[in-house]
Amino acid sequence: MDETFMKKRPVFPLIVSMALPMVISMLVNSLYNIVDTYYVSQISDNAMTALSLVFPVQNFINAVAIGFGVGLNAVIAYHLGAGESEQADRAATQGMVLSALHGVVLMVLCIAAMPSFLGLFTRVDDIVDLGSRYSAVAFSFAVINMLNLSLEKIFQTMGRMKLTMFGMLCGCVSNIILDPLMIFGIGPFPALGIEGAALATGLGQTISLAIYLTVYLTTHCPVRIRRRYLIPERNMSLRLYSIGVPAILNMALPSLLVSALNGILSGYSEVYILVLGAYYKLQTFLYLPANGIIQGMRPLIGYNYGAGEYLRVRQIFRVVLAMCCTIMAAGTVIFLAVPGPLTGLFTTSEQAVRIGETALRVISAGFLCSAVSVTASGALEGLGKGMPSLLISLFRYVILIIPAAFLLSRLFGAVGVWHAFWVSEAAGAVLSLLIYRRSVRLG
């Protein structure tokens, strides 16, 4: 495969061709998130609350997998753009080894810590029990998840977006099909309850990994896993982590944010925790497709930066920003128009639906501003500038919103937490542009 098309084709159709498969994949992934949460909510409101409390830890594991994959993606893309195929192979091989090690460590630590973690936010024994049972099954697939997402990023670096779309679609669709079968015991499947939801998730990840491995082993790939590079080397590991660690923190910061907000909201009622969990599932319909565009952008912007095509780097950034703004504008309209029915997907409680209506309308005021931060952060990752990207995420998820949520909740009650979202996104957009312009020197 000749990767030079990344610097030859017109920018907009090139971005569309790279991003569209990922956007489709992310939309299906969003649907999986909604369906998975819907079926869990049918078990009980306690099961839904338990899933909301487990979400930050589950998101952290995914953050490590995807964030390190971003570093892997950026390093491989740079070497391919510079014509250094051996270095690209070295990065791919050592990245896979390190990803497997991450999976083993996180599986052991997270399963062991979950009962104590859940106890920080609730005194209801049933919620702690449900969350612990879900985690024990879901987190046992951590190694598979790490390898799956690393291979996905390697294929994306080669420009094989349709393959990664197919792999993700197969995993998500399998998960959607297996959820009700394993939760409620339909047909030959036993009724496993909340463990069934976790098992369906793990099996979906396994199916995606099997597809990537099959394609890798049976077709020609310009990036190969080489036995001679299996032992991690200091210089390459430092390069992978220098981009990967900030990217991991970028993606893990939402977990810190959700945990902090859960702590604030738990002082009012566990209903607010349920509503916050419902919001985070719903917003995946916006942020995951936007992330799909960012995933399509990263190898393009990294390749062109490595090839010295700085004008195209500027063009890619502007086009992607416009595309993300379009998605966020559409999401704002939807959240303002039908917040009640959206919240009602996850609960039958009239109180929760009323709280959800207010939450979705208020939070959506910051969607359009968030497109600026998301694009700037993703572009910086693709350019190999992990620390400035991390700084943007720190402003979005820690420095601005957590203090704002604490102060506004003291002034306006729990609704103040919802207002903290749009306040921090507006300030974060301004800071993101300043950070991007100071960090990127082209030409």
Mean pLDDT by 10 residues, the chain (443 residues): 65 83 76 80 88 86 87 84 84 92 95 92 90 94 93 84 86 90 91 93 94 92 86 87 82 85 90 90 87 85 81 90 95 95 89 95 96 93 84 91 96 95 96 92 66
Of 91, 98, 88, 90, nearest to 222 (Cα)?
A: 88
Other residues' Cβ atoms within 10 Å of the Cβ of residue 184: 15
43-72 per-residue burial string, b: 16 or more CB within 10 A, e: under 16: bebbbbbbbbbbbbbbbbbbbbbbbbbbbb
Integer Cα distance of 391 and 250 in angstroms: 8
* Helix, strand or coil, per DSSP, at residue 246: helix
Give the per-residue pLDDT at 4.
Answer: 64
DSSP assigned state of 231? S
| Residue pointed to by tokens 């902090």 | 260
Give the per-residue pLDDT at 67.
Answer: 85
Q: Which is it for the CA torsion 264, 265, 270, 273, positive or negative?
A: negative
DSSP assigned state of 9? S
Residues 6+ apart with CB under 8 A from 239: 71, 75, 91
| Residue pointed to by tokens 């976790």 | 198
Helix intervals (H) in 11-160: 11-43, 45-81, 85-119, 125-138, 142-157
For residue 52, which amino acid is it?
A: S
Integer Cα distance of 254 and 233 in angstroms: 31
**Rounded CA Rg of the chain:** 21
User: Phi and psi dihedrals of 10, rounded to 5?
Assistant: -55, 145
Other residues' Cβ atoms within 10 Å of the Cβ of residue 210: 15
Integer Cα distance of 295 and 381 in angstroms: 10
Of 23, 347, 345, 61, nearest to 198 (Cα)?
A: 61
- pTM of the predicted model as reported, rounded to 2 decimal places: 0.70
Element (H, E) at 301: helix 284-306
Other residues' Cβ atoms within 10 Å of the Cβ of residue 351: 12
Give the per-residue pLDDT at 443.
Answer: 55
Integer Cα distance of 220 and 12 in angstroms: 28
Give the per-residue pLDDT at 276.
Answer: 93
